[in-house]
Structures are given as structure tokens and as C-alpha cells.
Amino acid sequence: MINNVSSKIKNISTLQYKEKKFEYWGPTPDEARKSMVEKSHALKDKRVTLKEAVAAHVKDGINLGIGGFVNTRVPVAIIHEIIRHGARDLTLSFQSNSICPELLAGAMILDPDRVSIRRVELAWWGYEIIGIAPLVRYLSTNGIIEMDDYTNYGMSVRFKAASMGIPFIPVRDHGGSDMELVNRGKMIECPFTGKNVYLLPACHPDVGIVHTTAADMYGNARIFGAYCTCPEIAMASTTTIMTAEKVISTDNIRSYPNLTEIPYPVVDTVTEQPYGSYPGASYGYYWFDMDHMKMFRSLCDDFRKTGNKEGLKKYYDEYIFSCDTYDDFLEKVGYKTLKKLKDMDGGQAIILT
Amino acid sequence: MSEYTPFEMIAYTGSRVLEDERIVFVGTGLPIIAAMHAQLTHAPNLYMIYEAGSLAPILEMGMPLSVGDTRAARKACYLKGLCGAFELTQRGCADYAFIGGAQVDMYGNICSTIEGNNYDKPGIRFPGSGGAGAMAANCEKTIAIMALEKRRFVKKLDFVTSIGFGDGSPDYREKAGVLGSGPYRVITNQALFGFDEETRRMTLLEVKPGRTPQEIQDLVDFELIIPPDVKEMAEPTDEDLRLLRDVIDAEGYFLKRVIKK
């Protein structure tokens, strides 16, 4: 039935690559189902500190699914805590992201015994207007991490398939491009139309990390602005660690249940963390901090160009390792910066009642 | 007529290519600027999809600096996530993909993943497909913005990120399982290209006033189809430049960038 028909035989580029043997890069669909069934599905208070959440769930060797999109609603507070805690041999999965994987990559460059990335399944890793991401360029061109490329739809719908409890999903992209050759999807002949269609395997992270607009103590969450792929990642993951700009009452959730984008059974921990995406943006609360992103990016680029880790080390010492919590980091960023970013959001409409 | 920059020429040409009463799936930077210019001039009923999840926003907070910018969600008609945006596209609601890339070949295939053809240890790693591969597959027509240089208009790509007409065979896209009709225009600051219906090869449509078709061919590593009726590209008027500089990208985030060599 498997019918490799497009670029594989027509060879339109000069690409050279190693064949990958298929395997899921995280829990299999059966394992993910089993872990969900075995969890308590009670409405219980899941509020913990980020330190407790990360210590309980983030282990070496896991597939870490990262929410948000590029600079928007990225789970930076959780990433800081993961770096303090340490996590080696990680597989990262996301569609498009900027500072979250760069922060992990920088931690790996400074101390691979604390944080290390083994491989990444992704669509895009960069800063958009601010520039390319220096550390993925460094790690990839030196052959230090393995890459597995999909489109933004591909990665999103792989999380979606996982959230639906199905092992794969047919899509109308990737085929005929070299992603068909290098990634773990497969071209088949559709049993109904008889035409070629590309299949992508579900992506179940061991741990999904998402930042939401608001959630109750059970993990029922609302997202305003673009959802990105946060609902799908939360529902796909074996364990979901969530930060929310604000914890709201369950009465409010029950008043407008249609607004719940992430339902409580798929959430394991809830932490109220204002500015939890900073220096990324969170719709209705604050815009992204281009200056901070540029500053961090330039330290990474200095390392890439010179091999000198001093600037990077200073950043991590100042903003991550000398901070006990994310609030300590925000205090260093300062009220005036946070207030300016709040003003730049322009008061986009969100519903917390 | 005022002087204009290469970026302004690209944005203006991009705007000209977009028709009214259509939906354009935009990438960051010049595609957003081109679509905003079209909305303000000849295409008031043109709407944008942003891949983070918004359809037909009103950009009253100013130009979004990226496709994930929260500003791009302002007063949208429909606001979901990436799945929502790309599924509308797969269903047939997105008329134009508006993308960029590092290399393009004569059949409109585009690379934005690596330079140097060893996937496992490339010479340069670019950010990756992002939305581009899905947009080129499933928007109805693909418009690409490229810098007109020999090292970018190549005979063979290092990696095909966004599908064009593949190897040029008539059924390549069908066999690839994709839905859109494929490459439509390639925009540079010195020439506008289309694709020949018969051979699916890149064809020179217009050149910047003062340039000759041969000068354009000299900047391209593969053989272009050059028809006898190559036209001159229209140039932005003072009013177009005012819109681009003072209204759309008033802070100069994209149009005032310095070109790196």
C-alpha cells in the first residue's frame, strides 16, 4: 500500500540525508492513552509552584512539547525553571518558537551536564523580525542535534492527531518537498480516492508546557488572541504543566464553558504567573519586549561567531541562576519595562468574568 | 517621481499582483506591507490570514511585526490557532500564499531550510519551513519574494522546502498530494516573473525601467523563458510611497532595513 511517488523518485534537489527508521519520538499512542486513563479525572486543586511542577514532572530523556508561536504566549517562565532544575537528553517538539528553545540551547552550551537537547521535531526556529536564531544554527551546522522538519501545519496537526487519540493524520502538504524524504511522515495511496496523500504520525510529548490567558485551579483554561497550538499540545501531552496570567474562579469558567479551550483532565499543574511569557507577548496583557530579545539574541550570536561564552554566562547567572523564582527575574526587568509593554498591548479585549 | 528603495519596489509590486475580493495568506514583513498597501488602494475587499490563527483582522494597532504578533489578531472575523488557519487553507479559502525563501529554481520550488545539501550537517541552517511549505502546497496560487542573485536563482536547490512544479512534469503536484495550482509570481526589485503554462518554467514578465531582459538573465543561473513582449514594471507614485512610509511601516521596521551582503 505504501507508495513513494513524488520527490523520492524525481530527485529535484541535490539533498543528501540519512534514512531515518520510523519510531515515535515520545510516548506511543497506546502509551499516551494508558497514562491518560490511569490519571485521576477528579476536579482537584492543581495549583503548585513552578519549582514543584518541574521537579515532579521534568526528567531526563523526555519529549518536551513547547506551546506558543514564535514570540507569542511562549512559556518562558516554565523554561527558566526547567533550566534551573536541569534536564538532559531532551527531544523538543514545537511548531515555531524563538526564545524558549534558544534558552535551552544556551543552557546546553554553558553546561551540557545540566541541560542537553538530543533532537528537535519542528517547523521553524527563529526570531522573525529580530533575526535568525544563532544557537540552532550553531547546533545544527555542527551536527550536534538531530532535526526533523515539518511545516507549521504539520507540527500543529501532529499534536492535533495526538489530542484526538489517533495514531496519524492525512494532510495535503509536505508531499513533493524534501520534507517528504527527511521527516517521519509517509506517502500512501488513499484507499478511497486512489490518489496520493501524505500521512503524519501523531506527536505526544511526555511533558507539554503552555502559558494561557486565564485558568481555574483545576486547569480549565481560556486563551485569548491566537490559540497557536496550545490546546492541541496540552491535550496531546502525557503531562501538561500550565502557567496562567491569572487564576480565575470556576464559577466564571462555568458561566461561559464555551470559552474553555483546554479542559481540566489534560492539565496536571496550574501556576498563576503574571508576565509568564515575558519577553514574549500575551494578548490582552502585554506586547513582546523586542529590546530584551535583541539583547539575548546578540549574546547568543557573539558566542556563535567567536566561541566566547562569557556574555551568555553572565545572562544566565544574572537572569536565571541567581533568581529563585520567575518573579525575581521580573523584578530585575523592572516595573517601567513591564508597564510599557502593558501599554503597548493596547488593551486587547479578554474575558475573565 | 520620487526615488524609491528596492524594498519599496517589492512591496509595491506585491500589492499590484494581489486582486480584490481575495484572501491572502501572508508571511512576515514585505508580504504584510504589500497586502496592507493593496487594501488601501485597489483592493479594499482583500483580506489576510495569519498563520497563528486570525482571519481578516483590522490592523488598527499598526502593522504586525510578525505573523504571530498579537496585533495581527486585532478585530479579526475569526480567530483560532494554526490548525484553524491552515485548515481553512486546505479547504480552499486562501487564494494566495505570499512567502519568501533563500533559493528558487526554474519550476518555482523554494528552499528555506538549509544551505549546503547535507541535511544532517548543513553549511547553514535556516529557521525552517514555518508555514511556507503548507502555504505553497495548499493556497491556490503562490507568490514568492526573492533577492535577484545568481546564488539564489539556482539550477538545483539544496533542499525543497516549499513545493513549486517539482521537476516540471504536469502531474508532479497531483502525485505529491497537494491541492493548490502552484507558483504564480516571483517578485524581485528588478523583475517580475510568472510561469509558462505549457512547460511550467519561470518566465520573465516585467523588468524595472532601464533594465534589459538580458541583464535579468545574467542574474539567474538557469535559463529563463523570455517572451518578446516583456513589459516595464510600474513604479510607485508619491502617494504609494507616502502610504508605504508614513502609514503602513511608519516606524521603518522592514522598509528601512539595511541590505546585508
Q: pLDDT tens digits for B18-32?
A: 999 999 999 999 999
Domain ranges within chain A, ordered by starting residue = 36-147+207-345
pLDDT > 50? residue A299: yes
What is the spatial distance between Cα A310 and Cα A313, in angstroms, rounded to a whole number? 5
pLDDT > 50? residue B5: yes
For B92, residues 6+ apart whose C-beta sits below 8 A from its C-beta are: B140, B179
B117 at A interface, C-beta within 8 A: yes
CA distance A296 to chain B (A): 17
Q: What is the pLDDT of residues A215-245, one digit of tens each?
A: 999 999 999 999 999 999 999 999 999 999 9
What is the spatial distance between Cα A139 and Cα B250, in angstroms, rounded to a whole number? 37
Q: For the full predicted model, state whether its pTM sits above 0.95.
A: yes
Read off the C-alpha cell for B169: 512534469
Which among A18, A140, A150 is the nearest to B125, CB-wise? A140
CB-based burial, B205-236: b 16+ in 10 Å, e otherwise: bbbbeebeeeebbebbbbebbeeeebeebebb
Q: What is the pLDDT of residues A101-153, one digit of tens each?
A: 999 999 999 999 999 999 999 999 999 989 999 999 999 999 999 999 999 99
Residue of B138, B126, B108 whose CA lies nearest to B25 = B138
Collapsing DSSP to helix, strand or coil, B189 comes out as coil
Q: What is the pLDDT of residues B94-110, one digit of tens each?
A: 999 999 999 999 999 99
What is the spatial distance between Cα A274 and Cα A218, in angstroms, rounded to a whole number? 18
Residue of B203, B184, B189 whose CA lies nearest to B233 = B189
Instruction: State the best of B58, B69, B107, B113 to mutate against chain A, taking most chain A CBs within 10 Å.
Output: B69
Instruction: Give whole-number Cα distances, B186 to A236, A287, B32, B206, B256, in Å.
Output: 39, 33, 16, 11, 22
A225 at B interface, C-beta within 8 A: yes
Q: What is the per-residue pLDDT for B257?
A: 77
Place of cell 550536534: A144
Q: Are A276 and A282 in contact (CB under 8 A)?
A: yes
The distance of Cα A181 from the centroid of its chain, to the nearest Å, equals 24
A133 at B interface, C-beta within 8 A: yes
Q: What phi and psi, each to the nearest 5 degrees, are found at residue B130?
A: 55, -135
Q: Are B54 and A226 in contact (CB under 8 A)?
A: yes
Handedness of CA B242, B243, B244, B247 (dihedral sign): positive
CA distance B42 to chain A (A): 28
A301 at B interface, C-beta within 8 A: no
Q: Are A276 and A245 in contact (CB under 8 A)?
A: yes
Handedness of CA A236, A239, A241, A244 (dihedral sign): positive
Helix pair B30-40, B6-17: axis angle to 10 deg:
60
What is the spatial distance between Cα B259 and Cα B175, in angstroms, rounded to a whole number? 39
pLDDT > 90? residue A6: no
Read off the C-alpha cell for A69: 508561536
pLDDT > 70? residue B71: yes
Collapsing DSSP to helix, strand or coil, A292 comes out as helix
Q: In chain B, what are the domains? A: 6-248 (3.40.1080.10)
Q: Are A158 and A164 in contact (CB under 8 A)?
A: no
Q: What is the mean pLDDT of chain B?
A: 96
Strand locations in chain B (E): 23-26, 47-50, 54-55, 78-79, 96-100, 103-104, 110-111, 114-115, 124-125, 141-145, 182-187, 191-195, 202-207, 231-232
- Pairing between β-strand B114-115 and β-strand B124-125 as defined by DSSP bridges: antiparallel
What is the spatial distance between Cα B203 and Cα B226, in angstroms, rounded to a whole number? 6
B51 is catalytic: yes
What is the spatial distance between Cα A275 and Cα A334, in angstroms, rounded to a whole number? 12
Which among A10, A179, A345 is the nearest to B166, CB-wise? A10
Q: What is the per-residue pLDDT for A1?
A: 44
Q: What is the pLDDT of residues B179-233, one digit of tens each?
A: 999 999 999 999 999 999 999 999 999 999 999 999 999 999 999 999 999 999 9
What is the spatial distance between Cα B12 and Cα B9, in angstroms, rounded to a whole number? 5
Instruction: Give whole-number Cα distances, A300 to A17, A58, A83, B91, in Å.
Output: 28, 25, 16, 41
Highest CATH level, class, for A36-147+207-345: alpha beta
Which among A126, A152, A195 is the nearest to B177, CB-wise? A195
pLDDT > 80? residue A331: yes
